[in-house]
Amino acid sequence: MKKVSIIDSKICNLNSLINALKHLGINYQIINKPNRRLYGDGLIFPGVGSFSNGMKYLKKNNMVTLIKDYAKKKIPILGICLGMQLLTKNSDEFGKFKGIGLVDASVKKLTSRSKLAKVPNIGWRKIFINKDNPLINENDFFYHIHGHYVAEIKKNNILASINFDKKMITVAFQKNNIFGVQFHPEKSNDSGLRILNNFYKYL
């Protein structure tokens, strides 16, 4: 039976994600340090909070090496929220910080001139699929909570976007076997569960 590894980076609450995987009957294990004996068939990398704190924790616990090892072995990776952002090259949040660098993109601060598009972006927003992909197959509403977003990304890596302050911003990407979603599938009801299940079926 296929097994998904979940990174416990101490920068998120895993309960919602674990409950979603249990509901789907997905076999999983939680890892908080590198261990080659615990490699799974896929890796889910959730996270919330600041880019700098996330990278500090990952480096301190040698988790950057683990994530890069998964990528080298072509094991599928799914980054969620901050996890998605940390997979990129860098961020301008509270200064300039380097990311894991698996995806050619940068993380920028959300800005808005409209009262209808508040920063941070919190709540349900409809996504628009940019191209066919194994993860997302419907323009549906998903739960977002973020003040930064993935920018400067190659067009062919963009899976889905949202309209924020009359500008389309990336909320899902794919580079080979590396996926990222800015929204929280584990908090997005049936639509979110389908994404997690699609990732599992992709393994």
Q: Which residues are tagged catalytic?
A: 81, 184, 186
Please report the DSSP string for 41-54 in residue order: SEEEEEE-S-HHHH
Count the Cβ atoms, other than its own, within 10 Å of residue 36: 7
> Cα–Cα distance between 175 and 10 in angstroms, integer?
26
| Contact call for residues 50 and 16 (beta carbons, < 8 A) | no
Q: Which residues pair with 97 in a beta bridge?
A: 91
What contacts 118, CB < 8 A, 6 or more positions away? 112
